[in-house]
Every structure is written in C-alpha cells, then in structure tokens.
C-alpha cells in the first residue's frame, strides 16, 4: 500500500462512506476507487484529483530546478 492509498481509505472511512459512495460522489468508477485504495501504481492523475478534491486536496507536479 502507498501513503496515498492509506490516506484515501482512512478519509473515506472517517466520513462513514463506502467505496461505491465515494466513487459516485467523485464521479469515478468503483473499480478506480478499489485500484486507488489497493495502491495500484498506474492511475490517471486527473481521476486521483477528482477523489482528492472531495477532501480538499490535490496532487500536482513539484517544480524542480535543474543545474546547468
């Protein structure tokens, strides 16, 4: 499991939501929620952000400066 999958599962459970309820509220499929909570390594970032948005969070790239 990843930190993200653990976070999503804990937040969902703390709100008393089932996986199907979370999928419906986030506008994603149930399969996506299951994959997310199981720590699948390849997920669409836009879909992850749809779920995180319900909790007031978002993932985005971190800007890194390159040495020249």
Report the C-alpha gap between 57 and 53 in whole angstroms.
Answer: 5
- Residues 37-64 have a mean pLDDT of 92
pLDDT of residue 16: 97
- For the segment 6-32, the average pLDDT, to the nearest whole number, is 96
Mean pLDDT of all residues belonging to the chain = 93
pLDDT at 1: 74
Distance CA 67, CA 59 (A): 25
* 54-57: long-range pairs with CB below 8 Å, 24+: 54/22, 54/25, 54/26, 55/11
State the pTM of this model.
0.82
Pairwise CA distance, residues 29 & 37, whole Å? 13
């Amino acid at each position: 499991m990843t930190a993200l999958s653990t976070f999503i599962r804990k937040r969902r459970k703390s709100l008393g939501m089932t996986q199907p309820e979370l999928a419906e509220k986030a506008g994603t499929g149930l399969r996506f929620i299951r994959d997310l909570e199981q720590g699948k390594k390849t997920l669409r970032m836009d879909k992850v952000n749809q779920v995180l948005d319900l909790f007031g969070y978002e993932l985005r790239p971190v800007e890194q400066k390159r040495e020249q």
